[in-house]
């Protein structure tokens, strides 16, 4: 599950976090409700995350202006649905977040090169942003590389965003020259990824310890699960799932993925129970 927001004026850090939490709530619970949540339900659910109603309404309005949410009334109640492109991205994100398969050496490599006229610089920015979010590394200026198992997702993403006319995509093996394991830290910022994974582990291990020791009510589970998932869902888009033999020993992404899986299993169902009670109460 992930969502990308259309180009808009820069948001503050707090605005961005509120928007991300709201998108997570819609992604988790609106899609099972015919892609609709009432404003009142979103406000109550966000209150359980410690956010006041006015801030929630302001963030929803910004998401509407950015084209992520669409205003709809159901049986006289004011509410919102996710727009079509966001729904598509969330569906693809579900696979990457909840069903991710790590690449192996036999998958080979995906190479993307592109050329964008100077008059369409915004397309160049969109391409770079899209490839970064897909987990591509930069092998050289204008040459982007990713594990070969991302080929289908890359093609779908670039087509959906109207960028396929600027791109050539190749698949194949690394042939020469040099040690591929030494190339990977040049193409991806592994230090940054390591820091992100270690931060996730330090912040969320105590949640698992708490739940394992004493359990959690549905409301408590919701309060832990939604922020945890909101933080986690960006990481599979920063890390392309490189083959383990090309990564440093003890790669923290493996441990962090295992922790996420345990938290998802422990908190997901009771959090959904609480959300449904609020939405239908």
- On the question of pLDDT at 114 being above 50, the answer is yes
pLDDT digits (tens, 9 = 90+) for 123-152: 989 999 999 999 999 999 889 999 999 999
By residue range, what is the domain housing residue 79? 13-87
Q: Are residues 24 and 74 in the same domain?
A: yes
Q: Are residues 126 and 62 in the same domain?
A: no
| Confidence at 4, pLDDT banded by 50, 70, 90 | very low
| Confidence at 7, pLDDT banded by 50, 70, 90 | very low
| Confidence at 6, pLDDT banded by 50, 70, 90 | very low
For residue 76, the domain's CATH number is 1.10.10.10
In the prediction, which pLDDT does 71 show? Answer: 95
For residue 124, the domain's CATH number is 3.30.70.240
Q: Does 51 fall in a domain?
A: yes
Q: Are residues 82 and 120 in the same domain?
A: no
pLDDT digits (tens, 9 = 90+) for 203-222: 999 999 999 999 999 999 99
Q: Residues 183-221, buried b or exposed e (16+ Cβ, 10 A)? A: bbeebbebeebbebbeebeeebeebbeebeeeebebbbb
What is the pTM assigned to this prediction? 0.89
Number of structural domains the chain divides into: 3
In the prediction, which pLDDT does 100 show? Answer: 86
Q: Does 228 fall in a domain?
A: yes
Q: Are residues 168 and 194 in the same domain?
A: no
């Amino acid at each position: 599950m992930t969502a990308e927001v259309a180009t808009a004026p820069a948001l503050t850090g707090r605005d961005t976090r509120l928007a991300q939490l709201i998108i997570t709530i819609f992604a988790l619970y609106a899609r099972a409700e015919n892609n609709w949540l009432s404003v009142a339900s979103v406000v109550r659910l966000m209150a359980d995350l410690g956010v006041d109603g006015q801030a929630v309404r302001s963030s929803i309005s910004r998401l509407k202006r950015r084209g992520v949410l669409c205003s709809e009334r159901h049986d006289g109640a004011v509410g919102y649905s996710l727009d079509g492109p966001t729904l598509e991205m969330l569906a693809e994100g579900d696979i990457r977040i909840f069903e991710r398969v790590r690449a192996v050496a036999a998958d080979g490599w995906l190479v993307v090169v592109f050329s964008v006229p100077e008059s369409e610089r915004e397309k160049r920015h969109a391409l770079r942003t899209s490839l970064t979010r897909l987990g591509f590394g930069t092998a050289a200026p204008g040459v982007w590389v990713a594990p070969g198992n991302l080929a289908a997702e890359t093609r779908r993403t670039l087509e959906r965003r109207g960028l396929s006319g600027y791109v050539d995509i190749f698949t194949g093996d690394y042939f020469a020259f040099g040690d591929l394991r030494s190339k990977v830290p040049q193409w991806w910022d592994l230090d940054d990824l390591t820091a992100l994974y270690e931060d996730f582990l330090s912040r969320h291990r105590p949640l698992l310890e708490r739940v394992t020791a004493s359990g959690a009510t549905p409301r408590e589970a919701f309060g832990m699960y939604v922020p945890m998932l909101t933080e986690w869902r960006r990481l599979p888009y920063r890390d392309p799932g490189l083959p383990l033999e090309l990564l440093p020993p003890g790669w923290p992404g493996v441990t962090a993925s295992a922790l996420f899986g345990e938290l998802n299993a422990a908190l997901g169902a009771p959090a959904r129970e609480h959300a449904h009670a609020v939405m239908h109460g």
